[in-house]
Structure 1
Amino acid sequence: AFILHYTFTLLHYYTFIFISGFIRAQVPPPVTPISTGRVVTSNGLSVHRLSYEGQVIVVSWANYGRRDKTTCSHGRPVSQLQNVHCTWSGSMNYVTTRCNGTNMCEINTNMVCTCDPSVCTYLDITFTCVPAIHSVTCQESQANLQCGEGQVIVVSWVNYGRRDNTTCSHGRPVSQIQNVHCSSPSSAEYNNCTVGASNTVFGDPCGGTYKYLEVVYDCQDPE
């Protein structure tokens, strides 16, 4: 079974406003409340699906393992609930690669490594749903983020790399689109209105792979 708990929160980001061809730092406006969710899925269920039409998913935390003795404990022997320090270090990368920036993703818990076969494990995900625009820019092109006059750009998630073998794949050799676990840890440092999707800007997280820049953002009215 899974536990689905929704709360509401306010997210604050550094925002930028485009005026007369220049980028000017702007105090973040109050962001419209967006849903924040937590999903816990027992490893007895093979697939968990997140789906939110008209919004995009931004995962803030994920863990596959066990951190307490009560979650997903029904019907389990005590011996399977004792190890509360069970964590798979690849949990966050596994979930964010599949879910961030999309409005639907499926996580196959049978594909996730478990830290101890004798422990009843579960997948614990904390995420937010953002009413946002998902921009994709192929490598060596310019990402132009645009909002209406008088609005500011609020960036919620950025990645430079490759997460599938179909995006920005036209005319590319197979060898350049096979690595689908490629991301740049420095991506989130860039919030400008116009950003070059290049190794010069973000570094090269995976040599030999043709990459693309993904940006999830929303247009807000300044206060």
Structure 2
Amino acid sequence: MDASGIFSDYLSKVLRRHTEQACDGGHLNLYCPRHTTISIQSAFYGRKVPSSLLCPGSHPRNSVEENRNCTAPTTLQKILDECQDQQSCQLPVNRRVFGLDPCPGTSKYLLVSYKCKPNEYKSKVACEGKELKLRCKNSTLINIYSATYGRMMNGNKACPSNPKLPNIECLSHTALEIVSTSCFGKQNCKIIASSRYFGDPCFPGMQKYLRVIYVC
């Protein structure tokens, strides 16, 4: 896989929300790439949909008899205790893990939503026309987490703009791709904060800046 493919795979794992599910008797596996850890968004153990559609169990019950309003209230706290801030996590799925069985005789499943958050951020800002320098030490390499070029509402005090111009958000849609293509996988990187590279998303005369968040 080339550098752009590696970056796309890394970025998709870091930025998007992941959802994993496992049936009773199975194992739930959560994983985040290097330099990131698990951030739990939600967790559910029980049943809300018919077993004919999800996790029927070894002895399926009549769909009329099964409990479809079945939730273990301890689920979120248990998942937080076991998986929060870990790079990977494996958990057996059964009623004993989550305390009292919320619906005896009904096959259940575990559904967890999570994101991958970087362990340590490095943030750099360069005003329009200036050079932005990114650097990693000890043979580590640059992984871009976010990049914005333009101006956020209320701006950046280090790069003041004309106060007579409207206070609006104006951002380049290509900043992340351009910075990532230039810097991902390198130990050192320099890039000019210029509309020549990123386009001009703002009103004429509005001072713009490039802000990059990255990890090594």
TM > 0.5: no
When you count strand as a share of all residues, which structure comes out higher? 1
TM-score calculated relative to the size of structure 1? 0.43
In terms of fraction of residues, the more helix-rich structure is 2
TM-score normalised per structure 2: 0.44
